[in-house]
Structure 1
Amino acid sequence: MADNKSDVGSPDRDRIAMSEEHEVRYWTKALGVSKERLQQAVDAVGSSAAKVRQHLAD
């Protein structure tokens, strides 16, 4: 199911949807990583933004 851009509540902000190009652009810029590094982090810990941040900080 496609991301509903009008539904920007907490669940939408807490997850990184690698299938949504606008989210990938946002998260790569926000976290200062490449798309490949972001994908590796999501593969390692899941799509939780908090877990991805923690993984990248380690």
Structure 2
Amino acid sequence: MGHQQRHHPRPGHAYSTRKVVWRCKRNGHIWKAPIGNRSNGRGCRQCRRMRTIAAESGP
């Protein structure tokens, strides 16, 4: 991905609409999303999709 600048939400910026690159701690997925989305508890889209598919397919 080349040179990347790491961004960390600072107090007062938790609901920022500025998009930054995030990396999933669980599986290493990379995506771009507003800081506000992450502050609201939204995480990795790919992991969320995998959990949804697994739940729909049943045991």
Same fold (TM over 0.5): no
Higher helix proportion, which one?
Answer: 1
> Larger Rg: 1 or 2?
2
Structure with bigger strand share is 2
For normalisation by structure 2, the TM-score amounts to: 0.28
TM-score, length-scaled by structure 1: 0.28
